[in-house]
């Protein structure tokens, strides 16, 4: 092997050790944070000689997922936490699309603004039922994407704040990967205390969630009928009709439609966005396009 040539692309410490490895990371991402972390994991893995594919779960069926899993040496799963819980599309993916295996290790990560207790391990039992054992788990802090008027929480639309947060997270991603690739322990969210803290948020969230599935609406007077929200919604909650956008009660509260509507026509709990509190969160990097994540509609 021409290690000098490879060394330009791959950290030389890993050449020959891991060069033939491949990985696949399946992720759900509402507004781009988890996608960014998955891409960063992939490029860091690439530097360490592991060719990695990142797949949005919205764009893949069971047969293709099974093929990718069969071909990969390493499998990862990532999601954002919602009230210390997994988003519905990720639950569905794990329950029905990810193939069952005969005991394989997987790494999991979640992205969060502040805290989730055991966000990256919350689906441990369900994964185990399909043969997957969580070998490593990480929590990555990312910018807050809850920008709805009813929320008292603050968020930042300042790219400099985002860059600082991303730099810190990138360093944590590298530490995480070192542990994964060298078989060292990295198990964020493991144990009774994180599980109890996670449950404290998750229990009420799961109760509310059922009542929160039809809280998105579109202000017909403001809407330009561009159809973007209907194309990027991950759960088929929005349809364009001659009378405007209608909803179907299947919202998963990812806030993608709300945050990426070009004219702030999407409302949450009938409250329009208040631009004086700041622009909605449009992803971790300038120009982020949620269309990359969504199934073609
Ligand atoms: C409905 C909802 C619930 C959330 N719950 C939490 C939470 O419990 N803890 C937390 O730190 N962040 C929480 N967040 C923030 C997101 O997890 C965080 O911004 C995440 O990185 C978004 O990832 P995404 O851009 O891939 O969707 C929540 C966001 C939403 C939309």
Final residue before a domain boundary, out of 176, 206, 236: 206
Give ligand 1 pocket residues (Cβ under 6 A).
29-34, 80-84, 111-116, 142, 144-146, 201, 253-255
Distance in Å, CA 281 to ligand 1 centroid: 12
Q: Is residue 279 part of a domain?
A: no
**pLDDT for 3 beyond 80:** no
Q: Is residue 60 part of a domain?
A: yes
pLDDT tens, 35-69?
999 999 999 999 998 999 999 999 999 999 999 99
> Could you tell me where the beta strands, DSSP code E, fall in 10-154?
22-27, 51-56, 74-80, 104-112, 132-141
- Do 120 and 258 have their domain in common? no
The answer to whether the beta carbons of residues 231 and 297 sit under 8 Å apart is yes
Distance from C-alpha of 231 to C-alpha of 234, rounded to nearest angstrom:
8
**pLDDT for 4 beyond 70:** no
What's 219's domain CATH number? 3.30.70.20
* Structure token pair of residue 175: 């530490």
CA-wise closest residue to 291 among 227, 219, 245, 239: 227
pLDDT tens, 60-93?
999 999 999 999 999 999 999 999 999 999 999 9
Distance from C-alpha of 293 to C-alpha of 127, rounded to nearest angstrom:
23
Total domain count for the chain?
Answer: 2
Q: Is residue 7 part of a domain?
A: yes
Q: Is residue 167 part of a domain?
A: yes
Confidence tier at 275 by pLDDT (50, 70, 90) = confident
- Do 88 and 226 have their domain in common? no
pLDDT tens, 100-145?
999 999 999 999 999 999 999 999 999 999 999 999 999 999 999 9
Percentages (nearest 5) of helix, strand, coil residues in the chain: 35, 20, 45
- Do 75 and 139 have their domain in common? yes
| Of 81-85, 146-150, 210-214, 287-291, minimum mean pLDDT range | 210-214
Average confidence (pLDDT) over 236-260: 96
Final residue before a domain boundary, out of 155, 174, 206: 206
- Prediction pTM value: 0.93
Q: Is residue 229 part of a domain?
A: yes
**pLDDT for 224 beyond 60:** yes
**pLDDT for 277 beyond 60:** yes
Confidence tier at 7 by pLDDT (50, 70, 90) = very low
- Do 41 and 112 have their domain in common? yes
- Do 10 and 65 have their domain in common? yes
What's 56's domain CATH number? 3.40.50.360
- Do 202 and 218 have their domain in common? no
Q: Could you tell me the residue range of the domain that residue 234 belongs to?
A: 213-274
Please give the pLDDT value at position 1: 32
- Do 260 and 124 have their domain in common? no
CA-wise closest residue to 188 among 199, 200, 196, 176: 176
136 forms beta bridges with 107
- Do 98 and 234 have their domain in common? no
Q: Is residue 291 part of a domain?
A: no
Distance in Å, CA 20 to ligand 1 centroid: 35
- In the chain, what percentage of residues exceed pLDDT 90? 84
Distance in Å, CA 254 to ligand 1 centroid: 8
Q: Is residue 49 part of a domain?
A: yes
Q: Is residue 285 part of a domain?
A: no
pLDDT tens, 91-109?
999 999 999 999 999 999 9
* Structure-derived torsion over alpha carbons of residues 162, 261, 36, 85, reported in degrees to the nearest 10: 100
């Amino acid at each position: 092997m021409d290690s000098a040539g490879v060394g330009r692309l791959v950290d030389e410490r890993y050449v020959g050790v891991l060069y033939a490895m491949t990985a696949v990371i399946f992720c759900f991402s509402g507004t781009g944070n988890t996608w960014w972390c998955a891409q960063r994991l992939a490029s860091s893995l690439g530097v360490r000689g592991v060719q990695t594919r990142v797949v949005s779960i919205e764009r893949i069926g069971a047969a293709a997922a099974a093929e990718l899993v069969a071909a990969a040496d390493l499998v990862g799963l990532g999601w954002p936490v919602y009230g210390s819980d997994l988003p519905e599309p990720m639950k569905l993916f794990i329950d029905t699309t990810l193939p069952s295996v005969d005991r394989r290790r997987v790494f999991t990560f979640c992205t969060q603004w502040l805290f989730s207790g055991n966000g990256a391990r919350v689906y441990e039992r369900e994964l185990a039922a399909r043969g997957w054992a969580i070998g490593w788990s990480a929590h990555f802090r990312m910018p807050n994407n809850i920008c709805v008027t009813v929320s008292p929480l603050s968020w930042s639309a300042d790219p400099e704040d985002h860059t600082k947060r991303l730099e810190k997270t990138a360093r944590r991603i590298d530490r995480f990967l070192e542990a994964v690739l060298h078989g060292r322990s990295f198990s964020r969210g493991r144990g009774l205390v994180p599980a109890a803290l996670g449950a404290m948020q998750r229990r009420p969230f799961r109760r509310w969630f059922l009542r929160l599935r039809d809280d998105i609406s579109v202000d017909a007077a403001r809407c330009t009928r561009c159809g973007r929200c209907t194309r990027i919604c991950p759960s088929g909650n929005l349809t364009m009709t001659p009378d405007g956008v209608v909803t179907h009660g299947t919202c998963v509260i990812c806030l993608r439609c709300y945050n990426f509507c070009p004219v702030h026509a999407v409302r949450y709990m009938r409250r329009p966005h208040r631009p004086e509190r700041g622009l909605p969160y449009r992803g971790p990097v300038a120009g982020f396009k949620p269309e990359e994540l969504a199934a073609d509609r």
